[in-house]
Structure 1
Amino acid sequence: MQKIYKFQTADNIIAGQNSIETLKDNIGLIGDEVKSVLVITQKPMQDLGFVDIITRQLNEKGIKVDVNIDTIPEPTAQSIEDISSKIKKAHYDVLIGIGGGSVLDTTKILAVLEKNDNTIKEILGTDLVKYPGTPTILIPTTAGTGSEVTPNAIVTLPEEQLKIGMVSRYLLPKLVLVDPNLTVGLPKAITASTGMDAFIHSLESYISNKANPISDMFAMRSMKLISSSIVEAYENGKSIKARENMILGSLYGGMALTAAGTAAVHALAYPLGGSFKIAHGVANSMLLPHVMEFNMDCIIDRLYDVAEPMGIDRNLPANKVAEKVIERLREWTKILEIPQNLKEYGVKKEDIHGLAVAASKVTRLLGNNPKKLGIQDIENIYNKLLK
């Protein structure tokens, strides 16, 4: 049966070095009546001067700017609702999020909370947001989540020891500014984990049950850009060419997952973040080779395709090429110094079953995986990371 597929993304995307400086010239894309703006960010973005760049431009346009730096890493539903309660009475015309995935997701959720009389828990899931939110402008400062172009946002629910997604077309921003200069100062560990996260978005989208010609196009280009640049960006963080390839690869990865969705790697990563506060990109990277090995017999042809953008010789039988792809993934985690042992984060043998049960509930993503996973399969994968 022929698939029906769709694609949606941000209304306007402006990319390139110094594109953040075009904000004042493009704020009109939001509308003519922008009088007040709230910048959602974190203190490091203030310290680096990024918020000043935004404030200066908007002040030149006569626009009032306030700043909130309360977003926490891997934000919880409660932390976002706490911010929402602080800002609701101000009635801002636009919310601008500048930061990594946590900031971008927080901004998207705050925007819909402004116009919908719901708690976050009531609108977690797919298409449960009833009304458009406050218009948003998103400016990524990591090359990782691709959140700036997706209709998705992720929140942590500590009481359920899980991360859960919100998916809605109303989470899509009106304007995105993609400036590689903002990523030049990223620490090596963040470059590694967010860069791998971006690659995983594309790889999982390419093997997803929902993969289609649109997602494939973005996924393949993303994997080529990231494969050629992730080690250089890690080892030479000032390489603007590597940084530009990485942030574009992340952007395309976000577009790929918008059209096809991620799969079991992300599903198994969510409980690790929810229960043990393992950073999202790190959890994904730890799980990646093991989940791909589990899927191998169902995705040999797709991994054979992936070898080309990764620069891997395909003059071998397809199964051998697929093995080389997985081996390259292992090599990257070693070069990028991403941990491969859950014990480092306090995970014990007796925690594995509970983690597996929690992961089995992430049906939105497990349904995308090309091979069905039972609880025992999930436990087996987690156990490979207990060394």
Structure 2
Amino acid sequence: MQPIYSFQTAKQIIAGKESLKRLKDDIKLVNKNIKSALIISQPSISDLGFVGTIKEQLEDQGIYVNINLDILPEPTVENIEDVFQQTSNTQYDVLIGIGGGSVLDTTKILSVLMTNDKQVRELLGTDMVEKAGVPTVLIPTTSGTGAEVTPNAIVTIPEEELKIGIVSNHLLPALVVLDPLLTVGLPKPITAATGMDAFTHSLESFISNKANPLSDMFALESIRLIASSIVEAYENGSSVEAREKMLVGSMYGGMALTSAGTAAVHALAYPLGGKFKIPHGVANSMLLPHVMEFNLDACTERLALVAEPMGLAVSGLSAEEKARKVIEKISEWTATLEIPQDLQAYGVVEEDIPSLAVSAAQVTRLLNNNPKKVSTDEMEAIYRRLLG
């Protein structure tokens, strides 16, 4: 019998080409009487004009607007608390995060810091946020994290050389805007890493111990959209059609993991980001085929079901043959998308492997979702496959 399962996501989603241009009207869905707004982003996003577009629209509505661009890639606890100190002297009716996963996650955390008398470290874990935050509007500019529709936010903890999640329904936004035009200018490496991150969300959700009919629906459609567009988006970044498929596929991946959760790939990726600053999408991409190979005997039937949505020619093949085709295709993608495959390029050496495995073993929230138990020795073996 299927265990009890649940699903929750953003309150409202507005999607489609040029949807950002109607934010001045759609923001009324959050609150008809917004007087002040804080836009949270990064300099690279501001330089593209997106922040200015939002500011102009809101000011046309008589809304006071403040901007903070100090979010770091892979933000630390200290970075988030520093931005909170910069912005907490003003009361805002809405926070608007526009950017990649780091910006969106930080916006969610700032939202609850403003209404809960707690520091970031006190919020780490599941359901540690007591009160609803300031309403948020989340606008992704990459197609990878799905952070705009999840109750999760990931923080780097420097002293532990690890990334840890804050999980709470209070992190869910009031409004999401998905405009594929915001992703057209993404550089190739970011397109590749974030796209594979989104695929990892969906695939891990599909083989998760918590997979259920709701998560399966989102995961399989996400896999279909991403598989049919990731190479095109990488090779022809101006293709709005490919960009839109990736953006919606990423969102579906976020919805899938909201219900089913990610697993060992993410658990092993977190120490790589925390200790060696390897971008999250790159770490996931490097690990994905190797972890799926490890998991194969525990989820052959599930992996086999992914082959057709991926567009693979598998008619007449056995379940194991289909599953192996899936893993082969993932490896092929990492080569086509020029995802790095050697941890040594990031400074990882053999002596680091045991401590990486010990750190990964702490991420029990995700390891419990994996279809197969992973010992620290087995984690070490997976890391070693990426050394040279």
Q: Under TM normalisation by the shorter chain, which class is it?
A: over 0.9
What's the CA shift for 1:286? 0.3
Distance 2:215 2:2 in 1: 16
Distance 1:32 1:147 in 2: 25
Match of residue 266 from structure 1: 266
What's the CA shift for 1:317? 1.0
Paired residue type of 1:375: T
Q: Do 1:304 and 1:314's aligned partners in 2 also have CA atoms closer than 8 Å?
A: no
What's the CA shift for 1:108? 0.3
What's the CA shift for 1:33? 2.4
Match of residue 81 from structure 1: 81
Match of residue 290 from structure 2: 290
Match of residue 380 from structure 2: 379
Match of residue 365 from structure 1: 366
Cα deviation, 1:291-328, whole Å, max 9, x if unaligned, reads 00000001110111000110112221111111110000
What's the CA shift for 1:2? 3.0
Paired residue type of 1:384: R
RMSD between aligned residues: 0.6
Paired residue type of 1:290: H
Paired residue type of 1:128: M
Residue segments in structure 2 that go unaligned for 5+ positions in a row? none
What's the CA shift for 1:30? 1.3
Cα deviation, 1:204-248, whole Å, max 9, x if unaligned, reads 000000000000000000000000000000000000000000000
Cα deviation, 1:138-161, whole Å, max 9, x if unaligned, reads 000000000000000000011100
Distance 1:306 1:42 in 2: 36
Cα deviation, 1:16-57, whole Å, max 9, x if unaligned, reads 000101211111111222100000000111110001110111
Match of residue 319 from structure 2: 318
Match of residue 120 from structure 1: 120
Distance 2:281 2:173 in 1: 23
User: Moved runs in structure 1, 4+ residues, more than 2 A?
Assistant: none
Distance 2:187 2:139 in 1: 18
Distance 1:262 1:345 in 2: 24
Match of residue 26 from structure 1: 26
Distance 1:43 1:166 in 2: 25
Match of residue 17 from structure 2: 17
List aligned pairs for 1:86-125, cutoff 5 A.
Answer: 86-125=86-125
Match of residue 337 from structure 2: 336
Paired residue type of 1:214: L
Match of residue 174 from structure 2: 174
Cα deviation, 1:78-100, whole Å, max 9, x if unaligned, reads 10000001111101111000000
Distance 2:324 2:256 in 1: 24
What's the CA shift for 1:285? 0.3
Paired residue type of 2:344: K
SS of residue matched to 2:320: helix
Match of residue 244 from structure 1: 244
Distance 1:27 1:280 in 2: 31
List aligned pairs for 1:38-53, cutoff 5 A.
Answer: 38-53=38-53
Match of residue 308 from structure 1: 308
Q: Do 1:137 and 1:176's aligned partners in 2 also have CA atoms closer than 8 Å?
A: yes
What's the CA shift for 1:68? 0.3
Distance 1:340 1:127 in 2: 36
Distance 1:188 1:47 in 2: 18
Distance 2:240 2:33 in 1: 36
Paired residue type of 1:42: Q
Q: Do 2:207 and 2:371's aligned partners in 1 also have CA atoms closer than 8 Å?
A: yes
Distance 1:308 1:379 in 2: 32
Q: Do 1:226 and 1:249's aligned partners in 2 also have CA atoms closer than 8 Å?
A: yes
Distance 1:22 1:217 in 2: 30
Paired residue type of 1:311: G
Residue segments in structure 1 that go unaligned for 5+ positions in a row? none
Match of residue 68 from structure 2: 68
Match of residue 356 from structure 2: 355
Distance 1:31 1:179 in 2: 21
* Identity among equivalent pairs (%): 65
Tell me if 1:36 matches 2:36.
yes
Q: Do 2:2 and 2:212's aligned partners in 1 also have CA atoms closer than 8 Å?
A: no
Q: TM-score, normalised by structure 1?
A: 0.99
Distance 1:76 1:93 in 2: 25
Distance 1:325 1:10 in 2: 31
List aligned pairs for 1:147-186, cutoff 5 A.
Answer: 147-186=147-186
SS of residue matched to 1:118: coil
Distance 1:184 1:158 in 2: 33
